[in-house]
Structure 1
Amino acid sequence: MTKPNQRIKQARILRIFRKIHRITGAALFIFFFIVSITALLLGWKKHSNGILMPETYVGTSTDLKQWLPLDSLHTKAIAVLHDSVAPDLSPIIDRIDVRKEKGAVKFIFKDHFWGIQLDGATGKVLHIDKRYSDLIENVHDGSILDWYFNTSNGQIKVIYSSIMGIALLIFTITGFWLWYGPKKMRKSKSRSQ
């Protein structure tokens, strides 16, 4: 292949990559904006002084032998949720976070973003919090739509994550070529002269 034909081919590839980069960016702009803002917030959640992610409070004992049974703590957490937050909130638990080293147990509820922290040994309420970090995480990975539409198996999250992952891969490849392609063309032009 002659040098001018090679440069024409490189220029054509560069135009194709530029078009793919531009179309992908325009089509997914709002999603990239959301992902970038939520990623920043998630990166800072532990350094937000309890605003985004509640601090873990300290209970009275780290010795599990002195702790109340988990089912008793669970019952207590649901009672606190209904008495202190709202009586009509769902009691379904998403996860139980046992912090032995802090003497605390966190009950995080599935159908809303409330969390209850209890002393593992006494069952005393250590903290009641709205878990904004969980909400932000759900927005970040698209699972907020699964929660909102009550899908059975996280299908929206899988589709959303796949689209965003493929788009980021396309952006990386096309962005690299938009940077490297002109350099390569200049080198081949200088060699041919």
Structure 2
Amino acid sequence: MQKNKRQKQAKILRTFRKIHRTSGALLFVFFFIISISGLLLGWKKHSGDLILSKSRQGISTDLKDWLPLDALHTNAVKIFQDSISSTHSLALDRVDVKKDKGMIKFIFEQGYWGIQLDGASGKLLHIERRRGDFIEQLHDGSILDKFLNTGTGLIKLVYATIMGLALFVFTATGFWLWIGPKRMRKEAVKA
């Protein structure tokens, strides 16, 4: 009776070990990318402008003193064309208003570029290469949606689902591979 139970436990351990090893081998590259990009994202605010540029300070935090959004956008586009590229797309990914800093960021879709302007004067505060955005898209898989121009986020969803399930499987099988032999030894001592 005891021998059958032990054989059954050993078989379960072998199955879990095989699942753990196979899924690890199949998803190694993705786990590597997620771990390195996650580490970099954790450090982005402490990278000294390398991964994430600091938000520069404008002259006024009162929105009444600011130029109209259209004038600020026109200024950002002119700076982009003069300083970065006259051939890149001028499509915006987003606009970040930092009222407490008196600054507005225009973030362009192509090339991960951002332009920080003083909200009141419209003067250039900083031109940034948004490496953090690239790393974030690499981390969550949305870079493939961007590259393939899906517009739906489907690849990101599938990627996140696969990696989330894989992490769950790794955790469950890893725990069982740790606790299983301990239980078997404990039962063997009892017998």
TM-score range, shorter chain: over 0.9
Q: What amino acid maps onto 1:182 in structure 2?
A: P
Q: CA deviation at 1:32?
A: 0.8
What are structure 1's unaligned runs of at least 5 residues? Answer: none
What are structure 2's unaligned runs of at least 5 residues? Answer: none
Q: What amino acid maps onto 1:72 in structure 2?
A: A
Q: CA deviation at 1:3?
A: 2.1
Q: Which residue of 1 aligns with 2:136?
A: 137
How many Å separate the matches in 2 of 1:100 and 1:111? 25
SS at match of 1:116: strand
| 1:70 and 2:35 matched | no
SS at match of 2:107: strand
Q: Which residue of 2 aligns with 1:89?
A: 88
State the Cα RMSD in Å: 1.0
How many Å separate the matches in 1 of 2:85 and 2:109? 15
How many Å separate the matches in 2 of 1:190 and 1:75? 78
How many Å separate the matches in 2 of 1:88 and 1:10? 65
Cα distance per residue 1:30-73 (max 9 Å; x no partner): 11111111111111110000011111100000111111122221
Q: What amino acid maps onto 1:55 in structure 2?
A: K
The residue correspondences of 1:96-135 to structure 2 (distance < 5 A) are 96-135=95-134
Question: Deviating runs (4+, > 4 A) in structure 1?
Answer: none
Q: What amino acid maps onto 2:80 in structure 1?
A: L
SS at match of 1:115: strand
How many Å separate the matches in 2 of 1:55 and 1:23? 43
Q: What amino acid maps onto 1:92 in structure 2?
A: A
How many Å separate the matches in 1 of 2:47 and 2:41? 10
SS at match of 1:88: coil
% identical equivalent positions: 58
| 1:20 and 2:19 matched | yes
Q: CA deviation at 1:152?
A: 2.2
Q: What amino acid maps onto 1:17 in structure 2?
A: F
